[in-house]
A and B are shown apart, each in its own frame.
Chain A
Amino acid sequence: MEVRHRVFINNQPMKSFLKIFSLLIITVFLGCEEVVQVDLEESEPRLVVDASLLRDKENPSSMQTIRLTTTAPFFEERSIPATDAIVLVRDSSGREYVFDEIESGYYRNNNLYLNFDTTYELEILYEGELYTATETLIPVASLENVEQNTGGGFSGDNIELKVFYTDPVDERNYYLFRFLRDDLSLQIYDDEFTNGNRTFAYFSDEDLSSGDEVRFEVQGMSRRFYEYIFILRSQAGTAGGPFQTQPTTVRGNVINTTNPKNYALGYFRVAETDHLNYTLE
């Protein structure tokens, strides 16, 4: 069941492209990296909620999966499933959808169609403590087409792919792009500098070649989730060197109502999604 993806988190371009290059210059051209042994302290385990309820634009499905784990020592190889939790989602009309544990730490419901203008509340009872979170379905713009060029990357001869979409002008929009090949690459965008425009998400990888089949996915995000993933991205271990920001433990939107100090990590969100498959020329 578990697929190990290689995950890249690219920076949201406008703002963070500005900063990433400082880092690049110093580490790529001068730095010398070496894996070292470090003794680390261990913190008490916390519940981690990975709950993304999705509705595909073309083919909305009613099957939703939630994953629960706990934090593990840093050098632990596997994540530790949080088992025997009671998980349910309640919509604003009061209907309850119970999620059954189908595999250790994986909880599923097969009857949950997501609707706009509905509030969804997640409830998790785990080890005697009640965790809750509330979200609504966030819409997203459709993916329109893919443009392929050579001349990408720093070397200038990588294939670059631009996947186009039209940003709605009326509100602030936040986008989570997932680019799937052998691995998964995530990008986040907001429309601060592109509001109302037809614009693109940019992917470039030196391993791309003609005939490759790739898949683009886009999901709508709330501002809070955008900020959350923005911080996660900076924590995910691409940083380093004199220009790293202060690391911090990032709080999501799940509240422990029984014992607020024992807060959970992770996020509960409800998003519309669109996808586009593309074969490289």
Chain B
Amino acid sequence: MKNILFALFIFFTTYSQAQEKYTLNGTIKDAASNETLYGVNILFPDLNTGTTSNEYGFYSIKLPAGDHRMLVSFIGYSEVKLEITINSNDTRNIELLESSEALEEVVISQNIEGLDIFTPEMSVNKLDINTIQKIPVVFGEVDIVKSLLLLPGVSNAGEGSSGFNVRGGAVDQNLILLDEATIYNSSHLFGLFSVFNPDAIKNLKLYKGGIPAKYGGRVSSVLEIYQKDGNSKNFKANGGIGLISSRLLLEGPIIKDKGSFLVGGRGSYAHLFLKLTDNPNVAYFYDLNTKLSYRLNDNNTLLFSGYFGRDVFNLNESFKNTYGNAVFNLRWNHVLTNNIFTNLSVIYSDYYYGLTLDFVEFNWNSGIKNLNMKYDFNHYLNENISLDYGIQNTYYEFNPGEIEPSNPGSGINYFELTKKYAFENAVYFSMEHTISTRLSAEYGLRYSSFFRLGQKELNVYENDQPVVFNEDFGIYEEADPIGITSLSKGKVERSFGNLEPRIAVAYNFNDYQSVKASYNRMSQYLHLITNTSSPTPLDVWAPSGKYIEPQVLDQIAIGYFQNFRNKPYSLEIESFYKIIENRLDYIDGANLVANNAIEQVVLSGEARAYGLEILFRKNAGKFTGWLAYTLSKTEQKTAGRTPVETGINNGGWYNTNFDKPHDLSITAGYELSKKWQFNANFAYQTGLPTTFPTGQYVFENLTIPVYSLRNSNRLPAYHRLDISATYYPNLKKKKAYTSSWNFGIYNLYNRQNAVSYTFRKNQDSGLNEAVRLSLFGIIPSVTYNFKF
């Protein structure tokens, strides 16, 4: 494996030396803040070649000697045209001016083509942070994840549910990276808000398919979010005051043009939803984003990022609950040679869940920690080939939970669920290859491996079967362990390895239309143990091991992409099919909370999803917006292991909890004047699958519903319309302090969308009834934002 890579490397290196060319490289930055810009297009129209800047703003390209025209363009920024002369290797750092800040007469043209039709990259959702900030949202809280839900292929399991689902994947199958560090729970307040402070975010990108070999460890998607570096020119502050929370972000130079800091805080108000009582109840969240960056010279930059977020509930001191993520990341960007950019990251990431229940006298702690090191290379070999390769290594410590008595007189014994440890490693290599002006491709290969380390107590079962089938009763049951083994955590209990090929191809018919296709295989070694419709903060992550196999996905996608000639419209149509092996399913009545032997309640099944996505956008002008429609199906199945076993749900395919065949959203913005901006969005989705009772009986005085097959019924369709208006009162040129008011109405026509139907006995009348639970009716909001 390594020899092949080395041979390839030698081959390409010698191949490139045969060319008589020079390298131009540099960093592309925002002129006002020195913030590096990711995804900037750099074109040499006369040479028919070009490149884009990487996530740290770096670009490098091989050019023949001579005079060339160079075009640098980026959405939201004024295009820069340069005449350059190349007669040796050269470094050029380029500064771009935001379109809104540029003087009108200087604006030559604005980048209106939203879509990159030439590169093999497909199945990617990108949203500009400025766009996100204008979309109307519940309670007026700008929310990255909620905005992504308006794009095709992204959905969630209803209002108030945690996380998001990409192309029929489960919530735990999304790799969420904040400054390259893994975030385990993306939700505050059980899914009402996401954990990302929009002010601190530079850009985000969601890969739904065609996922580059650089990424792995989750099978459905990668949400890549980069925080701002901080303004290294001027001190800036911005913030907002809303109905639910307030935000403040400060950034500025430590050493002008070299070092900068950024500190952003956000907190919701206590007593948030609890104002109905006079009791000392508290529910709130807060998060803190920090960043330090220091540019030593053109070739070396150090970046430190931190994120810390917590949700806190305290009900009358008898129930106290705290949970959240913490991540720290130290990165070193180093330009190794003029065409090799490297990034070394050391990342610590932690998810904690803690609970105190005073009246039953115990404390509960659980969580997951990891330490991650990775070294990534971007190698710009020549004008047709660029390579990405690197190594990644992660150490995990899983704490599924410990219970301790909360006072000396408590009747609770101390109990610790067995801690688990693992290593996950990967090497990857991928090549983006411009084969001709029409055809380009990206080939990648990733080899991932997972070493589950020894733990204190591991159950041993007859025939290695932790779940047995009781033929008499036709049900699955927990097997009784026949013994217990222990292994030191310095030893490997079980290891896995997977080769993950990735291929993407683009063919452009002309400058405006292209078709693309991709295939990727991915593997996932961690499983979020949850059997509710939406994950809860208490759910624990379980590593693959003796009894749990890694999930493996195969996905193919094809798409058609078009920018309309000289018009600010773009169209994307994609179709995908994916299948995931070893998706865990839970036996009926599985109790997952504080379960020290999860293997006794899970069976390995499969999941599949397929669909069609359409996105039509208008990218520029007074009127902007998009129409997104997804037609899809997502199912899972767990068949019996032997002909006698029934499997789960009689071994048939059944709809996942988040299957929504039709999902339509329309988002529109209209800029009436410099002072007034209006936005609206409309969403329509098929109702979520659910299971209705088909009968009832009485046992021990309890009324028990009888159910037939899983998820064979549906809630009513979900739809709503939101509107908002943004007002900029003091918009005068050169004024230091600017502010804006955002007025919004969520769910304008007050649709009572069903989150669930509960079938129960009315405690007063004694009669059975169906009760619809809905969360958000019409919600007006107002937010004040400021910047100076």
Binding site for B on A (CB under 8 A): 4-7, 9, 13-19, 21-22, 25-27, 29-38, 40-43, 45-46, 48, 50, 52, 69-77, 79, 152, 154-156, 160, 184, 186, 192-195, 197-200, 202, 204, 227, 229-253, 255, 260, 263, 265-267
Contacts and interface: CB of A to CB of B under 8 A. Distances in A.
A227 B589 contact: yes
A235 B696 CA distance: 11
A43 B708 contact: yes
Interface in B756-778: 756-761, 763, 766-777
Given A237-B758, A253-B473, A33 B773 contact: yes
A198 B531 CA distance: 33
Given A34-B752, A40-B694, A43-B694, 11 more contacts: A14-B360, A70-B697, A76-B768, A77-B767, A154-B318, A155-B279, A193-B362, A197-B411, A204-B359, A244-B533, A263-B473
A228 B319 CA distance: 28
Contacts of A194: 411-413
A17 B357 contact: yes
B702 A241 contact: no
Max count, chain B CB within 10 A of own CB: residue among A69, A239, A242: A242
A78 B281 CA distance: 42
- Greatest chain A CB density within 10 A among B412, B706, B711 is at B706
B693 A40 contact: yes
B114 interface: no
A245 B705 contact: no
A202 B273 contact: no
Nearest to B710: A246
Given A43-B695, A193-B413, A244-B532, A235 B704 contact: yes
Interface string B453-488: 000000000000000000011110000000000000
10 contacts: A14-B412, A18-B364, A19-B538, A35-B771, A46-B695, A154-B279, A237-B759, A248-B710, A265-B704, A266-B697
A227 B474 CA distance: 15
A4 B593 CA distance: 33
A30 B283 CA distance: 13
B67 interface: no
Contacts of B703: 7, 236-237
A74 B694 contact: yes
Interface string B292-317: 00000000000000000000010110
A116 B665 CA distance: 66
Contact of B699 (A36, A37, A202, A232): A232
B283 A248 contact: no
Nearest to A30: B775
A273 to B, nearest CB: 13
B104 interface: no
Contacts of B693: 40, 74, 247
B191 A25 contact: no
Contacts of B706: 43, 46, 71, 74, 249, 265
What size tier do the contact residues of chain B reach?
35 or more
A5 B761 CA distance: 12
Contacts of B160: 26, 30, 241-242
Contacts of A30: 160, 273, 775-776
Contacts of A29: 273-274, 276, 283
A79 B217 CA distance: 52
B698 interface: yes
Contact of B691 (A199, A229, A241, A246): A246
Contacts of B162: 242
Contacts of A46: 695, 697, 706
A15 B413 contact: no
Nearest to A28: B273
Given A35-B769, A38-B757, A243 B415 contact: no
Contacts of B276: 29
Given A14-B412, A198-B411, A250-B588, A267 B770 contact: no
**Nearest 5 pairs between A and B by C-beta?**
A237-B760, A199-B411, A231-B589, A29-B273, A240-B758
Interface centre among A32, A76, A235, A248 (most CB of B within 10 A): A248
B755 interface: yes
Contact of A74 (B537, B695, B698): B695
Nearest to B654: A246
A126 to B, nearest CB: 14
B787 to A, nearest CB: 32
A141 to B, nearest CB: 13
A26 B538 CA distance: 15
A231 B411 contact: no
Interface of B: 157-158, 160-162, 189-191, 273-274, 276-277, 279, 281, 283, 313, 315-316, 318-319, 321, 355, 357, 359-360, 362, 364, 403, 411-413, 415, 472-475, 531-534, 536-538, 586, 588-589, 591, 593-594, 691-708, 710-711, 752, 755-761, 763, 766-777
B359 A160 contact: yes
Contacts of A9: 702
Nearest to A76: B696
Contacts of B281: 154
B279 A22 contact: no
A30 B192 CA distance: 11
A34 B757 CA distance: 10
Given A25-B313, A43-B708, A74-B759, A32 B695 contact: no
A38 B403 contact: no
Among B273, B697, B755, B767, find the residue whose CB has the most chain A CB atoms closer than 10 A: B697
Contacts of A7: 701-703, 761
A207 B324 CA distance: 37
Contacts of A267: 699
B360 A41 contact: no
Contacts of B694: 40-43, 74
Specify which of B315, B537, B761 lies most central, judged by the most chain A CB atoms within 10 Å of its CB: B315
A222 to B, nearest CB: 13
B165 to A, nearest CB: 13
B702 A236 contact: yes
A14 B413 CA distance: 11
A102 B761 CA distance: 28
A79 B701 CA distance: 11
User: In the complex, which of the residues A42, A234, A237 has the most CB atoms of chain B within 10 Å of its own CB atom?
Assistant: A237
B86 to A, nearest CB: 59
A21 to B, nearest CB: 6
A263 B474 contact: yes
Contact of B591 (A230, A232, A241): A230
Contact of B359 (A6, A152, A198, A239): A152
Nearest to A166: B411
Contact of B536 (A22, A184, A192, A240): A22
B318 A25 contact: no
Given A7-B701, A19-B593, A265-B699, A242 B473 contact: no
Contacts of A74: 693-696, 705-706, 759, 768
Contacts of A184: 701
Contacts of A246: 531, 586, 588, 691, 710-711
A241 B538 contact: no
Of B412, B711, B767, chain A has the most CB atoms within 10 Å of the CB of B412
A51 B23 CA distance: 85
Contacts of A186: 700, 702
Given A14-B362, A79-B697, A242 B315 contact: no
A34 B754 CA distance: 10
A128 B557 CA distance: 57
Contacts of A79: 697-698
Contacts of B411: 194, 197-200
